[in-house]
A and B are shown apart, each in its own frame.
Chain A
Amino acid sequence: MSEKRRFQTSLKQYYDLLRRYLLPQRKTLIGLTILLLMTIALQLVNPQIIRYFIDHAQSGGAMTSLIYAALVFIGFSLFHQLISVIATYVSENVGWRTTNTMRSDLASHVLSLDMSFHKEHTSGAIIERVDGDVNALANFFSSFIIHLAGNLLLMIGIIVLLFRENWMIGLAMTIFVLGALYLIQWIRKFAVPVWAEWRQVNAEMYGFLGEQLEGTEDIRANGAAGFVMNRFFRLIHRMLPIRVRAFLGFAAMWNTTILVFALGNAMAFGISAYLYTSGSITLGTVYLIFHYTELLSKPIEKIRTQFEDLQKADASIVRIRELFETKSRIVDGPGAKLPDGPLSLTFDEVGFGYEEDKRTLKQLSFQLKPGEVLGLLGRTGSGKSTIARLLMRFYDPQEGSVELGGVDIRLCKLGELRKKVALVTQNIEIVQGNVRDNLTFYDRSVPDERMVEVLRELGLGRWYDTLPSGLDTPLDSGGGSLSAGEAQLLAFARVFLTDPGLVILDEASSRLDPYTEHYIERAVSRLLEERTCIMIAHRLNTVQRADRILILEDGELIEDGERQQLAADPNSRFSRMLATGMEEVLA
């Protein structure tokens, strides 16, 4: 909970953000400034009309000029209203444009982070950051600078006009304004940390809800609804006091302005009463002073709400910066090219652990010739999948190196690497969208016929034929009406639509029944033609087509050899494993 620390968001951070996201909008901003200047002028003029009116009425001026004054007052008011609606619209637009850019930048940054980040953060919590926190910034972008500048100008305008009436009242009001701003700024210090805390606990809430909403089936059928509700209650129990404190922070800010204005009014009353009785101003001017003092509440109030937004933004900016500054442990390479065609593979003394002091892979070395098919066997947790993750560069090894086609993969661009290496896992990853999106991840260049062909090849033809609108049929995220086996076939199909030099099948057929597995064998053989392949399995039938077998245990190689040789050698682990399989059949 680093948010708990008191952050002094430096001006530079704001400046960086403004330059990066607002500068491209400068034309709109100029237009907006003009609109705002007009509203300021209108607001300054109106009290003068009232003074004119009062003084003329008191001295018994002509009726028609009084009527005109009243009409001009109404006209100006209407005009002012129109302009402010337009200004809001424009600034809202700026806000959305800038935050949308920021949102995509942030999303694309987070998307590029390595898996160790994603293992620590729920998608619910990321929504809170990418959407919630950025939303809190929307106002900051759309209007903070302009409103701040505009209201400062309005304030200065009022003070100048007050000085024109009398230096004493001008001076008093200047002191008042400065004091008010200082006080309001000061009180803000107390509300910021609580606000950050509230957002944090809120993010936790939606992270929690997200997980529950994904797992309804398991909760329901195992009678865990009560447990989930209990967690919910404990969470809101913790949330309430934080929310109360956050609200009191707001109340403190609002109350400060109320008190400050009462004092300002009292001061204006005192001074203008003195000036009036000494005969240096008219009653109309007293009203003018009173009106301007009231009018001052607007800019000060606006500045207060701007700071309030800033206070929300403050917490959000800190968190967004943190996110932006979270560097992926995986540094993109300078861009070495991988050769076309099947790739050779070298693991050279690779040592790797998910945690610093625990090695999942221990000085692992092996090589694979282009086009070779490797069967990688081992118990759960022996490090098989880790090899796949290193090859995709989800992680980098702490020691040693991984080479593809003779190139250290850390020298390649990630995009290039992941284009050349395809991975199918047993995870079901279906995204919201239609079948086409799920096959190509929004790549429009893949022709439909090719997709349908692949689906048929993989035995999904019958499924495809039931789809009411073919490739355009929407799929639920998380699978929905797709069975787990079908989802896995769909993941297979994704690889068929690309042209990798190395294919890694990590338990890729674990959810398939033997019949289906058998059915797609021909298609898989075609896929593996002219490609290097690693088949990770803990089932033996999966590795039948392998040329070579590697067996891992606790991150170390305990057997390595040609499949046929190993099978023929009665002392090999592999042949013993084959024997266990036989036992199983006999049982």
Chain B
Amino acid sequence: MKTSTFLWRLIRYEPGRYSLNALMWTLISLAPVIPGLLTKEFFDFLDGQASLGIGIGGLIALLVGAALARVMLIFMGFITDVHYRFRMGMLLRRNLLEHILKEPGARAIPVSPGEAISHFRDDVDQTEEAVSWSVDVLGMLVFAGVSAYILLRIDAQITMLVFLPLVVVVTAAQLATSRLQRYRAASREATSQVTGAISEMFGNVQAIQVAGAEARVIERFRNLSDRRRKTMLKDRLMTEALDSVFSNTVHIGTGLILLLAAYKMRAGTFSIGDFALFVYYLNFVTQFITNVGRFLTYFKQMEVALRRLTSLLQGAPAWVLTLFKPLYLGKRETPPARAGAGVGQGKSTPSGSGEQVARSAGEFGSASGQQARRTTEAADQAEAGSPAAIATGMRGARQAEPEPLSHSAEGSQTELGPLRQLTATGLTYRYPETGRGIENISLELERGSFTVITGMVGAGKTTLVRAVLGLLPLEAGEIRWNGVLVEDPGSFFMPPRSAYASQVPRLYSDTLNNNIMLGEEDVGGRLQAAVHTAVLERDIGQLEQGLQTTIGPRGVKLSGGQAQRTAAARMLARQAELYVFDDVSSALDVETERQLWERLFRERREATCLVVSHRRVALSHASHIIVMKDGFIESQGTAEALLQQSELFRQIWQGDAHEG
């Protein structure tokens, strides 16, 4: 997307507020015309050439009155500005967050969370500034027109010679700003590295303290900070040099007027009042030009911001950022409990939000016409050689393959019915960093079956379940639900179809209750049932506030086992047809684990399970076992069969026998 299109779409998000804001700031820009005229009148009065017969007292009263009016305008201008810019900035953040939550979950952002935060913060702020300052361009034009009219009538020659250099300055400065971008990109980059380092430092405090690595970590942080200083300085020097060109115009202009008016003043055809007026307006002209220059600078910087924000979208088109979506900011407005639930959510509810979903899905569909272009873009990036660019390149290539439009799929996918059979064929995904992953994996899950994936560390077990659930972008392969192709597994595999407990559970600084339910409504004692099956009831009983206990950032107040069982409860509370859980019992003691499995077997009823585990209790219960090795299926079958066939399986089976 072009930066100007981006700007235009943001303006169109709230056209009413934007126009009002533009009107206010145009009036504010126009306000200094009056005190300028009053100043001229004052000097002319002293010089005996007064044209208005109001005397010094009247002039002074008018001057104060004009200031009061301007003050009122500014108050209103600030209100319109903050309302507009806040909405616009938050719309960007909203769309960005919503998009990230739709990406394949295991690779939702191409950078570290700390870096992503700096995009959310700085790049959006940058954009906000640019859009907010754009109204000043209009104000400046109106002021220029009005003041030019007044000045031309006084002295056309001097007016031309004052305004002309200013136009030159703007042009020159605009040409120079293209250089600015590079420095801006570098300094932003350095900044996000610094914030990334901080986020990491404090995300891994314990590991750092354990390793006694505080000093070394700080040293690294210091180096990154110093790099940022250097890039920032370059950036700032350029900006400042440009700014000073803008702001110095008034002095040069005054000098020019002096030079040109010397003869006329001596001859009495150019009064002191005229001179005062020229200089007075010059002041404001320069101020406005500074503002316009500032806008141009922000605009150029917005280009960088846009590029960085787009890179966060991992190949999706930039206009995803500017989709017009509600923000629920009205006084009496409250967001729906599952607001903006996105594509996947809407399908199960055919009502209002579903319609919106269909619309946005339609928009996605229409974008696929541009896929060819997107692919070339991705290829260009891939040539640039960075791993991330190559990753998006791969995605792009994949997307370019003929696939059904997602909106046409909308209707059919709701009618797929309850799970009878899930088949995956030829699943392939390799991590771009190491080239490892899974290759050409096929599996089949019958309704009510209990399938266990097992294998050694690094065999691709987690990758496989992620691939099935659409948490990783597939390179090849397809997944069929009751024989029907699932086009977008990522938004398809969600409750009520499936639920997932990941190997390393992610919890939030919120109550235990919210961490389990995640907004789901507690109907029919779901919560109690989930808590019970996950063997959490004893732990909750020990907490003073029970389920309402706040569990700290990332759930740090819970032990590893508690966190894992919370994640299990989270999954179970969804009441899905398919449960997928990845090594959910690794941090549990024998007794708790035994209870967990027992309750699971008893209470899952018809639900289909896909489980990563190497516990014998799980393996012996399995209706089917898949043994993974180096990204391939080494062997599969029932436990008895595998004990006969597979040496690897025997080792895993026997390894777990050390239990007893």
- Chain B residue numbers with a CB within 8 Å of A120 are 552-553
* Contact B436–A481 (Cβ < 8 Å): yes
For A74, give the chain B residue with the smallest CB separation.
B255
Q: Hey, what's the 0/1 contact readout for A206-217 against B, CB within 8 Å counting as 1?
A: 110111111111
- Give the shortest distance, in Å, between B12 (CB) and chain A (any CB): 20
- Chain B residue numbers with a CB within 8 Å of A89 are 233, 236-237, 240
* Contact A580–B214 (Cβ < 8 Å): no
Size category of the binding interface on chain A: 35 or more
- Chain B residue numbers with a CB within 8 Å of A259 are 67-68, 71
* Contact A381–B562 (Cβ < 8 Å): yes
CA separation between A583 and B648, bound complex, in Å?
24
**Consensus secondary structure, chain B interface:** helix
**Consensus secondary structure, chain A interface:** helix
Binds B, one of A95-103, A363-371, A403-411: A95-103
* Contact A585–B660 (Cβ < 8 Å): yes
* Contact B120–A206 (Cβ < 8 Å): yes
- Chain B residue numbers with a CB within 8 Å of A512 are 457
For A129, give the chain B residue with the smallest CB separation.
B198
Q: Hey, what's the 0/1 contact readout for A62-97 against B, CB within 8 Å counting as 1?
A: 010011011101100110110011001100110011
Q: Hey, what's the 0/1 contact readout for B200-213 against A, CB within 8 Å counting as 1?
A: 11111111111111
Binds A, one of B97-105, B177-185, B303-311: B97-105
Q: Hey, what's the 0/1 contact readout for B493-516 against A, CB within 8 Å counting as 1?
A: 111001110111111110000000
- Chain A residue numbers with a CB within 8 Å of B393 are none
* Contact A538–B592 (Cβ < 8 Å): yes
Give which listed residue, B199, B261, B327, B500, contacts A233 with CB less than 8 A.
B327
Asked whether B594 is an interface residue with its Cβ less than 8 Å from the other chain, the reply is yes
For B211, give the chain A residue with the smallest CB separation.
A441
Given contacts A100-B225, A122-B509, contact A269 B59 (CB under 8 A): yes
Asked whether B414 is an interface residue with its Cβ less than 8 Å from the other chain, the reply is no
CA separation between A551 and B620, bound complex, in Å?
29
- Give the shortest distance, in Å, between B492 (CB) and chain A (any CB): 11
- Give the shortest distance, in Å, between B626 (CB) and chain A (any CB): 14
Binds A, one of B13-21, B329-337, B474-482: B329-337
- Give the shortest distance, in Å, between B76 (CB) and chain A (any CB): 9
* Contact A92–B233 (Cβ < 8 Å): yes
Given contacts A426-B586, A477-B203, contact A283 B209 (CB under 8 A): no
Binds B, one of A160-168, A177-185, A237-245, A556-564: A237-245
* Contact A442–B562 (Cβ < 8 Å): no
Asked whether B74 is an interface residue with its Cβ less than 8 Å from the other chain, the reply is yes
Given contacts A243-B82, A290-B276, A478-B112, contact A96 B620 (CB under 8 A): no
- Give the shortest distance, in Å, between B48 (CB) and chain A (any CB): 10
Residues of B within 8 Å of A, CB-based: how many? 195
Q: Hey, what's the 0/1 contact readout for B537-580 against A, CB within 8 Å counting as 1?
A: 00100100000000011101101111000010011001000001
Asked whether B354 is an interface residue with its Cβ less than 8 Å from the other chain, the reply is no
Asked whether A262 is an interface residue with its Cβ less than 8 Å from the other chain, the reply is yes
* Contact A228–B82 (Cβ < 8 Å): no
Asked whether A447 is an interface residue with its Cβ less than 8 Å from the other chain, the reply is no
* Contact A247–B82 (Cβ < 8 Å): yes
CA separation between A365 and B14, bound complex, in Å?
68
* Contact B616–A118 (Cβ < 8 Å): no
Asked whether A568 is an interface residue with its Cβ less than 8 Å from the other chain, the reply is no
Binds B, one of A146-154, A428-436, A448-456: A428-436
* Most chain B beta-carbon neighbours within 10 Å: one of A84, A427, A511, A515: A515
* Contact B202–A515 (Cβ < 8 Å): no
Q: State the 10 A-B residue pairs at the shortest beta-carbon distance, nearest first.
A: A514-B655, A227-B519, A538-B589, A215-B506, A262-B67, A226-B341, A226-B338, A541-B658, A220-B105, A77-B251
Sample (17) of A-B pairs whose CB atoms are under 8 Å apart: A74-B256, A78-B252, A88-B244, A111-B205, A115-B206, A123-B202, A213-B109, A244-B86, A273-B46, A418-B212, A426-B587, A432-B196, A481-B436, A511-B583, A513-B454, A513-B655, A518-B655
Question: 9 additional contacts, CB 8 Å, given A123-B200, A580-B590?
Answer: A54-B272, A63-B262, A89-B240, A104-B225, A123-B553, A207-B509, A232-B94, A427-B206, A441-B207
